[in-house]
Amino acid sequence: MKIMCLTSGGLDSVIMTKLCCKKYGDENVIPVYLNYGAKISKQEIRSFKYFFPKGKIIDIPLNKILKNHWSMQGSSNEKFPHQDRAFVNEYIPARNIIFLSILLPFCELNDIQCLAVGCQADDQMPDNNPTFYKSFSELVKQGTFMKKFKIITPIFNKSKAELTKLGIKMNIELEKTFSCYDDKYGNYVHCGVCHQCKERKEAFKVANIVDPTKYHK
């Protein structure tokens, strides 16, 4: 079975893709990075290429649509007045819906009936959870000829701390993953203060593992 893995180069998705390679075989896994023009794309692509040199990179510039959004500016400070939960400030409007839609023609033309995504137990976004992905899979079945299509979430039952332990156990160089919202430091260096960096630091702390990540602060 061929399986496509949506991979960002971050800790979660790299571990998820490596798990799929182990389960289905490298030859059956297609890692793909969607470059939508975010400011951190250069750093993410560096990590993606490091782990998956034969992976696919697809450019889908959304900079005109998201030109005023924090993801294009390099700082996470977007405000959504209708929401009062802090994590919503990290939200990129409809990103995963766009990503999945972009990948569908490739999947259908190449008879790829399975798409893997890296959402984990701590994720809280409305477009990044098993319920959303199950609903989207049903929509695909209704609107395409892919009647067996499914989106799987291999790591949803694990927290980020548990994933960190798993990554170490699998001998994955976690310091080469990139999970930061700031791109200015380069060479896998994280800012150390954004929400993503704080989550990353906490995961290593909870897992009781020495954090090999390079932080600016």
pLDDT 10s digits, 72-117: 555 444 443 444 444 455 667 777 888 899 999 999 999 999 999 9
Q: Which of 21, 50, 41 is nearest to 175 (CA)?
A: 50
> Cα separation of 201 and 217, whole Å?
11
Please write the tens of the pLDDT for every residue from 13-37. 999 999 999 999 999 999 999 998 7
Q: What is the pTM of this model?
A: 0.87
- Return the H-helix or E-strand segment holding 151: strand 150-152
> Cα separation of 55 and 36, whole Å?
16
Indicate the average pLDDT of the chain: 87
